[in-house]
Amino acid sequence: MASSWNVTMGPEERLFHHGESGYVRYQVSGSGNTVLLMLPGALGTKETDFLAQFDYLDPSAYTLVSWDPPGYGHADPALLQRSWTLDMLERDAEVVVALMKHIGSTRFSILGYSDGANTAFLIAAKYPEMVYKVIAVGGNAFLDSTDIRIYEELRDINTWDPQGRNLMVSSYGQAGFLELWNKWCDTMALIYKERGGDICKEELKLITAPVLIVHGKNDTAVPLHHAYHLAAHLVSGDLWTISDAGHDPHLTHAHLFNGVMTLFLQNR
C-alpha cells in the first residue's frame, strides 16, 4: 500500500509482533492500579480517538494502554497489511488480548469506540476473567440495511466532518485513507451479506462484566436503535444517551464524559 504514513515512534510507544498480523504500535502510560485498555474505531488511533482521555485521566491512578489495530495508524505499512475478512474484529480481539498478556496485564477495563466497542464486546464475552468493566461508545452488535446505506453515503469523505477527515489524512495521507476506508466499507457490506449483519449479537449474552453504553442521540453513523439493542441484551448494561451529541461524545463532550466514566470505573 503506497501511503505517507507517519512512522515516528514516541518515547512511550512500542511495537508488538503477533503472527500474521505483523507489528502493531502500542503505548502504556501511567502507573495507576486501574488499567484501562483503549480500543479505537475504524481506522482509528490514540491520536484520532482518545487524546481527550489521555489528557484528563490521572497517570498516578490509571495505567492507560492504547494501540493501533493491525493495518491501522502509525505502524510501518511495509511490515503488515490488514486482513479484510468477515472475522476481522475477532482477529483484532485476539491480537489485543495477546498484547495485554505480553505486557503482563490480565485484568483490565476497556474503553471502546465504535469498532473498538464491538471488539470490547468480543473480548469480554470470550475472556470474562480478564475484563473488569466496559465503556462502549457508539457500538453496534449488528448491521442492517440502514447501516449499509449510511456507510455507502460515507464513502465520500467530503461528507465527513472536516476535523475528523483531516485527522485521518494526517495519519494515512489522502490516498491511503481512501484505500483503507473503502476496504472497511466493503467489509461491512460483506458482513451484512454473508453473516446477516451479525457482529457480536450472540456474544452479548455471555458478557458478565458491567457495561456502560454511551451513545449520542444525534449519531448519524450508528443510529440510536443500536444502543437500545445493546441495553436490552446485555446482562449488566446501563445506557447513557447524550441529547446533543453525535457519534463521538467522548470527544465532543469530553469533560462530561470523562467525569461519568471515572465514576463508573471507580464504583466498586
Tell me the C-alpha distance between 236 and 210, whole Å: 5
Question: Burial, 56: exposed, middle or buried (Cβ in 10 Å; 0-12, 13-18, 19+)?
Answer: middle
At how many degrees (to 10) do helices 88-102 and 115-126 cross? Answer: 70
225 catalytically annotated: no
- Contact (CB, 8 A) for 217 and 224: yes
Catalytic residue flag (residue 170): no
Find, among 142, 135, 73, 67, the residue nearest to 99 by Cα.
67
219 is catalytic: yes
Distance CA 236, CA 125 (A): 12
On the 0-12 / 13-18 / 19+ scale of CB atoms within 10 A, 93 is: buried
**Catalytic position from the list 247, 248, 250, 253:** 247
Q: What is the CA radius of gyration of the chain?
A: 17
DSSP E strands, 69-222: 108-113, 131-137, 211-216
Q: Which helix (H) or strand (E) holds 15?
A: strand 13-17
Burial class (CB in 10 A: 0-12, 13-18, 19+), 119: buried
Q: Catalytic: which of 21, 29, 109, 114?
A: 114
Catalytic residue among 49, 147, 219, 248: 219
Query: What are the catalytic residues?
Result: 114, 219, 247
